[in-house]
Amino acid sequence: MRRLIVFLCLTGAGGLYAQGLVLTLSSERQRIGVTSPAVGAKVWFKTTGEVVLTDKTGHFYPVKSTVTNTEIVISFDGYKTLESTFNGKEQTYVLFDSSTVFIEEERRGSQINRRGIQVKEQLNENEFKKAACCTLSESFETTNTVEVNNADGISGIRQVEMLGLAGKYVLSTRDNLPLMRGLAVLTGMNQVPGPMVSGVQISKGTGSVSSGFEGLTGGINYGMKADPRDPKLFLNGYINNQLRGEGNLVFKAKLNPRTWNFSYLHYGGQWRTMDQGKDQMTDMPLTNRVVLGNQVNHWGKKSEFIAGVNQVVEHRKGGDIRNFQKGFVLPVLRFAFDMKEEKTDAWFKLGLFLNESGSKSIGQIVSVNRHHTRAVLNNLNERHYHGNQNTLFYSATYASPDDKKWSTRTGVQITADQVAEGFTDSGKSKFNPSRVETNTGFFSEVIRKTDKSSWLLGVRADYNNLYGWAITPRFHGRISLSEKSSLHFQAGRGLRTAWVFSEYLPLLISNRTLIIKTDRNGGAYGLNREDAFNTGISLVKNFTAFGYPASLSTDFFYTYFFNQVVADRDDDYQTLFIRSVQGNDSRNLQTDLNLMPHRRVEIKLSYRYVRTMQLLGGERRIQPLQSLHRALAVLGVKNRKQWFADAVIQYNSPKRLPSIKPPSPWTELPEYSPAYVILNLMIRKNVGKQWEFYSGVENLLNVIQRNPILGAENPYVKWFDAAYAWGPTNGRNLVAGFRLRIK
């Protein structure tokens, strides 16, 4: 259960002898949670009949201070009367204005939010509990909007896709901070502990110009547990039968009535190797990951700020399983993969409210990021990669007052990347690209609201020191068809610089020769920027079925690339070509139905069709390793004794495999993979108000791809390639864990 109105001030701190503090929270300021002192509020002590008034700071001092545990009534003009208890200690009371309406509702794990101009899918902690494990990239099992697959059969990296395109086209942010760029674009979500995440907002298509000129296919914004209402201590532990485990700790400390500190600690690892495919290669690499973080949130009367720092250290080791068997003496050199990453993020967000309602404001963001990657991609051909990235980001935004019809937002953003990379192998491939790339952007958007519609028009002008000037317009619209249904439109242009090695790292775990076909002198890797246009339409309808709320949403999105950087494996079995092509496109159709046939039963049904065409091997082909049809069903059941059961079933249609015809008939591949179904079951039990225990099984049907690595039997052959994973490489997996919350 939840209250939609947030009580931010739980205890007060007035003067040295203050016995009570009365604050007001108007409906206009509830979204920012900024309170004001109630000057002259009347406080009536029922037991003694005493009446006192609050002073200019909102404090009141009862004359008969010995009276404790007595009922009081607080009244103030324009605000709802509050009845509470006074215990003689310093307390804070919050009054809400007369227009405030309290609504208590069941907190559903997933819902479609149509109230804004852009449709957003919102996932919270209740939804994440339906998937036991573990990182943010593994938390999307219950949604069809985001698809997550194995990037290859060696590294264990899970790659995100949206609208039929790779995760590099998704703007991934933490509290609207762009922290997953560059070297982190592939592994960033693998390094965010899922149990520490409070919620995720998913939006399709190009977003607002205030969020940047990237994000061609959508945005994923997540937030960590950082609410004053969160438990003082959150502890989570997880283990599975394949000896993968993790622990998560979140600790909350109150520094003063308006300032809170949140500390995060995560450790996770894969401590045993498995070879369920019987190809002598590890299904998952041995992994050790440590995440340390801290965040300070302050809510002031006229300002608020967030300051944080996050550190990630991760080490992955995989390859020939005999490398990890104790006492085994290698007669010859065996294939090995080894990757280490260190990443540090620090940021500061400051918001200044220039009027009472907070609608007129100035926001500033500063973030600094450092990322180091070292990888042995293939020891047999001495293929090594290292990358260093230092990034500075600054944003300033001014939002004008909303007069119920018009509002504007204007600002500037500056991004500076210092990048140094190196790639070598025994085939004498050698790349040492380095660059300093700066981008300064100016943006402005205007919003028009009427009783039946809302429209947003935005435009950006960006100057990049490597590519010059670029204009990126964005358009969003919403029409209310009825009180419970709405139609949404959007269109916009997006640009991004390709990060060749970090984006295509899994494809380099091979013996293929890397060739980058340059377009220009200068620029990143000698390639032009990726340039695309995206448009979409969404219909969302809320209705009542079986006496309970239900929703139906359908959308269609189309993406056209004026220029796209692709990795071509269809051209030649010995070569990986990185080149720019024009005219690629993607179509995505999706329908979601959410029902509650009973107040303790939730059902989600979803179907997604995607068709992405790319110029590969000299002809237009369907993007490799992509299911054209994907269906999803999620069933959740609970009872009065706090038992919860969830089932998730996914259907994936056949995927096109990269075309390869090496000079060995037994290595030729079929054109398509088989279709497959994944079934996950999870059971949870709440014990009291603090403990929660869960257990379940992932991949109950034991679906395994036994050949995700082409040429695994002989890694010396020219066509050896680890990136042929079309399905799960792990079979049936038993899991168990607990969650502890201490208020």
Closest to 568 in 3D by CA, of 713, 723, 711, 379:
723
Residue 507: is its pLDDT beyond 80? yes
Residue 100: is its pLDDT beyond 80? no
Closest to 284 in 3D by CA, of 267, 301, 270, 263:
270
Write down the residue that tokens 């298509």 correspond to.
Answer: 205
- 683: helix, strand or coil: strand
Comparison of pLDDT for 139 and 248, the residue scoring more: 248
What would the pLDDT profile of 588-643 be if each residue is shown by its tens digit? 999 999 999 998 999 999 999 999 999 999 999 999 999 999 999 999 999 989 99
Question: Residue 5 — very low, low, confident or very high, per pLDDT cuts 50/70/90?
Answer: very low
Q: What is the pTM of this model?
A: 0.85
Closest to 655 in 3D by CA, of 628, 693, 687, 678:
628
Residue 291: is its pLDDT beyond 90? yes
Q: What is the mean pLDDT of residues 60-65?
A: 70
Alpha-carbon distance 730 to 722, whole Å?
15
Which residues face 159 on adjacent strands?
149
* pLDDT at residue 98 in the model: 57
Closest to 738 in 3D by CA, of 699, 687, 698:
687
Could you give the count of Cα atoms lying within 13 Å of 449 in the half-sphere of its Cβ? Answer: 11
Comparison of pLDDT for 10 and 579, the residue scoring more: 579
* pLDDT at residue 429 in the model: 83
Q: What structural domains does the chain harbor?
A: 2-104 (2.60.40.1120), 110-157+219-284+291-328+345-384+392-430+440-742 (2.40.170.20)
Closest to 399 in 3D by CA, of 439, 456, 346, 452:
456
Where do runs of H (alpha helix) occur along 95-243? 125-128
Question: Residue 453 — very low, low, confident or very high, per pLDDT cuts 50/70/90?
Answer: very high
Closest to 132 in 3D by CA, of 265, 238, 284:
238
Write down the residue that tokens 């037991």 correspond to.
Answer: 47
Report the chain's mean pLDDT, rounded to a whole number.
88
What would the pLDDT profile of 681-723 be if each residue is shown by its tens digit? 999 999 988 999 999 999 999 999 988 999 898 999 888 999 9
Alpha-carbon distance 480 to 401, whole Å?
24
Residue 651: is its pLDDT beyond 60? yes
- Number of residues in the chain: 743
Whether 187 and 507 have beta carbons less than 8 Å apart is answered as no
Whether 590 and 583 have beta carbons less than 8 Å apart is answered as no
* pLDDT at residue 1 in the model: 37
Whether 239 and 211 have beta carbons less than 8 Å apart is answered as no
Alpha-carbon distance 686 to 190, whole Å?
28
Question: Residue 36 — very low, low, confident or very high, per pLDDT cuts 50/70/90?
Answer: confident
Q: What is the mean pLDDT of residues 561-581?
A: 94
Whether 496 and 558 have beta carbons less than 8 Å apart is answered as no
- Residue 391 to residues 183, 347, 431, 433: CA-CA distances in angstroms? 11, 12, 22, 17
Residue 235: is its pLDDT beyond 70? yes
Write down the residue that tokens 């000079």 correspond to.
Answer: 663
Q: What is the mean pLDDT of residues 404-428?
A: 92
Question: Residue 102 — very low, low, confident or very high, per pLDDT cuts 50/70/90?
Answer: very low
Residue 666: is its pLDDT beyond 70? no
* pLDDT at residue 330 in the model: 52
Rounded percentage of the chain residues whose pLDDT exceeds 90: 64
Alpha-carbon distance 569 to 260, whole Å?
51
Residue 519: is its pLDDT beyond 50? yes
* pLDDT at residue 96 in the model: 81
Task: Spell out a b/e string for 639-648, using b for 16 or more CB atoms within 10 Å of the CB, else e.
Answer: eeeeebebbb
Amino acid at 635: L
Give me the phi and psi of 470, to 5 degrees please. -150, 145
- Residue 602 to residues 122, 133, 271, 580: CA-CA distances in angstroms? 16, 21, 36, 46
Comparison of pLDDT for 404 and 662, the residue scoring more: 404
Question: Residue 668 — very low, low, confident or very high, per pLDDT cuts 50/70/90?
Answer: low
Q: What is the mean pLDDT of residues 173-180?
A: 90
What would the pLDDT profile of 305-339 be if each residue is shown by its tens digit? 999 999 999 999 999 998 887 765 555 688 999 99
Alpha-carbon distance 298 to 305, whole Å?
5
